[in-house]
């Protein structure tokens, strides 16, 4: 850069009028090559691009290049200097002309330069925002595809209850954990500390820490065997035994069975029944499985439980 500034100082007034000063100004990054070239050329041709103004520039002390007595020599791979030129292009000489613009012209150029800088800056912003928009579009499409996959993968398990959050399990294929709304209305009052314990255990499910969640729900049932959230805990245990490694079908069956026998009127009963059918299917007992699926439809067919649709789909798919 010091070359450039030197050249610019040497250019004096011309600085304000010559387009090269724009170059010099905008040149804060250009590679070594460009810098050198600019230094050389600004000294040599001295902002001569403004030839149209027709006036002559003051003599520039830097425009006279010291003659180089040392000629460049080119060699072939045989390292013998080659004297003959390959072809014959002659470069057009630069017409030595420069502008001596007035103060107004100078101001105009200064403003133009400012505008150009500003447009460049805005241009950069637009480019970046267009790119961000493109990236966001791609991401949102990707998210939609993911969501679509998850919903169809869960066979509409999440469709029924708006409050459900699904988290597909790692180990057991298509199993989808559906969060049942914490059921109330069973007439049992919440015991002190029960809510916190339940939510803490449920948080483990959300965090996909299934083994810890199993222990947390077991502890919960020990502490609050007749608690308000006990049916929920049974339901979750049933679900969790299906997704832990190794899968524990028998414990899962017992948990769902317990929920059905102890709390037949619970809002989670249809889901538990459907799951029970599924557990029997996984255990290889197709008859029992079909029996429970049919019961879901016959017992809760008139309700708007999502388990009914799931059971129908299941039958359609497997029988």
Partner 1 sequence: MKRLTAFALTLMLMAASLAARAELTIEITQGVDNPTPIAVVPFAWQGAGSSPTDIASVVDGDLNRSGQFAPVGRADMLGLPSTEAEIFYRDWRAINTEYLVIGRVSVAGEMRIEYELFDVLRQTRVHGGVVTGPVNEARMLAHQVSDAVYEKLTGIPGAFATRMLYVSVTRVPGGNDYYRLTLADSDGARPIVLLESREPVLAPSWSPDGRQIAYVSFESSRPAIYRQELATGRREQLTSFKGLNGSPAWSPDGNTMAMVLSKDGSPDIYLMNLASKRLTRITNHYAIDTEPTWMPDGKSLLFTSDRGGRPQIYRYDLRSGNTERVTFEGTYNARARVAQDGRNMVLVHQRDGSFHIALLDLVTNRLHVLTSTQLDESPSIAPNGSMVLYATKYAEQGILAAVSVDGGVKFRLPAREGDVREPAWSPYMRR
**What is the number of alpha carbons within 13 Å of residue 149 lying toward its C-beta?**
8
Q: Which is nearer to partner 1, 80 or 189 (CB)?
A: 80
Told to check if 155 binds partner 1 by CB under 8 A, we report: no
Classify the C-alpha dihedral 272-296-279-177 as positive or negative.
Answer: negative
Told to check if 32 binds partner 1 by CB under 8 A, we report: yes
Told to check if 22 binds partner 1 by CB under 8 A, we report: yes
Told to check if 30 binds partner 1 by CB under 8 A, we report: yes
Say if residue 246 is exposed, middle or buried (CB neighbours under 10 Å; 0-12, 13-18, 19+): exposed
Using only the alpha carbons of the chain, give its radius of gyration. 41
Q: Which is nearer to partner 1, 6 or 295 (CB)?
A: 6
Q: Which is nearer to partner 1, 97 or 240 (CB)?
A: 97
Q: Which of residues 125-144 bind partner 1 (CB under 8 A)?
A: 125, 127-128, 131
Could you give the 3-state DSSP secondary structure of residue 51? helix
Q: How far is the CB of 85 from partner 1 (least distance, A)?
A: 6
Dihedral class, residue 187 (left if φ above 0, else alpha if ψ from -120 to 50, else beta): left
Q: How far is the CB of 253 from partner 1 (least distance, A)?
A: 47
What spatial distance separates the first Cα and last Cα of the chain, rounded to whole Å? 81
Angle at 51 between CA 49 and CA 57, to 5 degrees: 95
CB 50 within 8 A of CB 98: yes
Told to check if 73 binds partner 1 by CB under 8 A, we report: yes
Told to check if 206 binds partner 1 by CB under 8 A, we report: no
Q: Which is nearer to partner 1, 76 or 265 (CB)?
A: 76
Q: Say what angle helices 230-243 and 194-206 make with each other, to 10 degrees.
A: 20
Q: Which of 2, 74, 104, 152 binds partner 1 (CB under 8 A)?
A: 74
Long-range Cβ contact pairs of 141-146 (< 8 A, separation 24 or more): none
Q: Which is nearer to partner 1, 42 or 266 (CB)?
A: 42
Q: Which is nearer to partner 1, 41 or 161 (CB)?
A: 41
**Total residues binding partner 1 (CB under 8 A):** 54
Q: Using CA atoms, how far apart are residues 302 and 12, in angstroms rounded to an integer? A: 93
Told to check if 94 binds partner 1 by CB under 8 A, we report: yes
Could you give the 3-state DSSP secondary structure of residue 315? helix
Told to check if 41 binds partner 1 by CB under 8 A, we report: yes
Binding site for partner 1 (CB under 8 A): 19-20, 22-23, 26-27, 29-34, 36-38, 40-41, 44-45, 48-49, 65, 68, 70-82, 84-87, 89, 91-92, 94, 116-117, 120-121, 123-125, 127-128, 131
């Amino acid at each position: 850069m010091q070359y450039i500034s030197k050249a610019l100082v040497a250019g004096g007034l011309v600085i304000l009028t010559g387009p090269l000063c724009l170059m010099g100004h905008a040149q804060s990054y250009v590679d070594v090559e460009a810098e050198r070239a600019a230094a050389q050329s600004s000294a040599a041709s001295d902002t001569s691009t403004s030839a149209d103004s027709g006036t002559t520039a003051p003599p520039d002390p830097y425009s006279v290049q010291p003659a180089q007595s040392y000629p460049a020599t080119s060699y072939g791979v045989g390292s013998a200097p080659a004297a003959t030129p390959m072809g014959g292009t002659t470069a057009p000489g630069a017409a030595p002309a420069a502008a001596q613009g007035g103060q107004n012209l100078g101001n105009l150029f200064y403003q133009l330069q400012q505008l150009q800088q500003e447009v460049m800056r805005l241009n950069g912003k637009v480019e970046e925002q267009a790119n961000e928009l493109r990236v966001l579009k791609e991401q949102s499409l990707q998210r939609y595809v993911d969501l679509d996959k998850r919903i169809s993968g869960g066979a509409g398990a999440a469709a029924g209850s708006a409050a459900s959050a699904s988290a597909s399990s790692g180990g057991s294929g298509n199993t989808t954990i559906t969060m049942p709304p914490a059921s109330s209305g069973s007439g049992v009052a919440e015991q002190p500390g029960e809510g916190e314990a339940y939510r803490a255990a449920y948080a483990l499910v959300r965090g996909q820490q299934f083994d810890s969640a199993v222990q947390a729900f077991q502890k919960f049932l020990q502490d609050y065997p007749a608690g308000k959230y006990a049916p929920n805990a049974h339901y979750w245990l049933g679900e969790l035994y299906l997704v832990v490694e190794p899968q524990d079908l028998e414990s899962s069956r017992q948990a769902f069975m317990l929920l059905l026998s102890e709390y037949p009127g619970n809002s989670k009963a249809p889901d538990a029944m459907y799951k029970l059918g599924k557990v029997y299917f996984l255990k290889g007992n197709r008859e029992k499985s079909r029996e429970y699926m049919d019961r879901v439809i016959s017992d809760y067919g008139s309700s708007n439980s999502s388990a009914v649709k799931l059971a129908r789909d299941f039958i359609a798919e497997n029988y």
